[in-house]
Amino acid sequence: MDDPAETRDPRPTFGTVVDVYDEIRPTYPDELFDAFFSLLGAQPEVIEVGPGTGQATRDLLARGAAVHAVEISPSMAGKLRSNLPTERLQVSVGDFETIDIAAESADAIFSASAYHWISPAAQFDRPALILRQGGVLAIVGLFQVDSPEDRGFYAAAQPIYERYGQGHEGPPTEARQDVEPSIAQALARDPRFTDVDVRRWDWDQTYTAAGYRKLMLSFSDTNMMDAADRAGLLDDMEAYITSDFDGRVTRPLVVTLTTARRAS
């Protein structure tokens, strides 16, 4: 039986599928890290929010950063430590909103596909406190877009999602050229930050039927489902991809890098 306490906060569900998450979640373009590090000095001190098992952390370390990774899931944090054993990586288990980090102690705060879990106020209040003057807040977003690269898969698969109560809700999926991270507009309105900029890259990911099953299992929405419904959804989707899409689908994605500096 699912734990009702856990389902109130989706974040702990990631810790139940650590190995799947580590295997299937995408990394990020080299050009994204080139752009981020062009804003920093040598060997910067970076706070990483929600590192998961290190999909972006290894790139931060490879470019010379000292990284303090704040991860809310103990099992994810443990996997991160085993994946990247280095003295330049400090891993803390806790919530970025409340964990004790000294004021004006970081050159940058970086978060990839995780900052939406932080409450709206803390998204700005915490960087304004923790960053040194001129320090960089860098938020990476991963947006699924409406694009012919998926060969119509997502529209055709909606009845399967709906069968298990997982149909698309909210506004329609955007086209590539329309992707605009909402945090950029909010940063531009906040006088504590300046030099707001957004960069974008196409970052489509292709999966086998079994791989797409694992990707779905790495999502919090899937993990919060009733166990029987979850198994039915995964079985039906894998079978559908195998029978109707030659066993392979592409997820059309745009990755964004939104940056801003802490004002003086």
Confidence of residue 11 (pLDDT cuts 50, 70, 90): confident
How many residues does the structure list for the chain? 264
Report d(CA 123, CA 81) in Å as an integer: 25
Mean pLDDT of 183-211: 98
> How far, CA to CA in Å, does 108 sit from each of 39, 96, 138, 220?
10, 14, 7, 27
Long-range contacts formed by 27-33: CB under 8 A, 24+ apart:
27/55, 27/56, 27/59, 28/55, 28/56, 28/59, 28/112, 28/140, 28/203, 28/255, 29/201, 29/203, 29/255, 30/59, 31/201, 32/140, 32/199, 32/201, 32/255, 32/257, 33/59, 33/60, 33/63
In the chain, what are the domains? 4-262 (3.40.50.150)
Residue 70 · residue 47 · CB < 8 Å: yes
User: What is the residue-averaged pLDDT of the chain?
Assistant: 94
pLDDT one-digit tens code per residue, 232-261? 999 999 999 999 999 999 999 999 999 999
Closest of 200, 197, 156 to residue 176, by C-alpha: 200
Whether pTM exceeds 0.75: yes
